[in-house]
Structure 1
Amino acid sequence: MSMITEAREEIDADRIRVATAVRAHYSAAGFSASALAREVGMTQSKMSRRTTGAEPFDIDELSAIARVLEVEIVDLITGTNLPARPIRGGAAAGARRHLYLLEDEGRSAGLSGVNVALYQLS
């Protein structure tokens, strides 16, 4: 494999890593792609091209996104410190049933005021 081909593959991987990090952070913050686009002054189509990895984000865009999402820009660039992903579908319903049981057991043991969130690591 040539050095140029290897470099292109690394660049593609970097672009996908950044796009994945942005999607994970905006989802965890409760934003849709279009809502985030409005907040940072981008068009929805431009945000879509960036978050699918079709086009790279520029540093100014990442800076604006980091400010809106209240995350460090380095986490968007490196793909580190990704937020946990909420459990959805049937698994969430089953987990909620278990939490209700635990909550009832906690009340009977005299515990109160415990907040629990369901998350699964990606």
Structure 2
Amino acid sequence: MIGYVTLGVSDMGRAKQFYTDLLADLGAKVLMDMERIAFIGKSMGAPMLAVCTPFNGEPNHPGNGNMVAIPAGSKEAVDKLYHKAIELGATCDGEPGQRIPDMFYGAYVRDPDGNKLAFFEFG
């Protein structure tokens, strides 16, 4: 299973603010902050999202085909997370909607560094 996913960022302060504001309603907060990497989640024993500046000192680059999918809990919560992300500076990469009839509802954004996120609800 997944312990944490790491996203490379160019500005740690901006990234921590974006993700803590975005995920606060899901109960997430910064759990550990070690200057160049910060872990955000509900608890150290649950899956987390980490933001970091690349260890090698080179510029961060979003991966082509990489995406972090965050379960929202309901279709309404998908919509709420999508709109909150846009308000916080994300860009649209797919508006909220039913993707697979009666099976998958989702929305897609790119964070301020270009990392792709999905918010989803099955059913």
- In the superposition, the TM-score normalised over structure 1's length comes to 0.28
Query: Which structure has the bigger radius of gyration?
Result: 1
- In the superposition, the TM-score normalised over structure 2's length comes to 0.28
Higher relative contact order (CA 8 A, sep 6+): 1
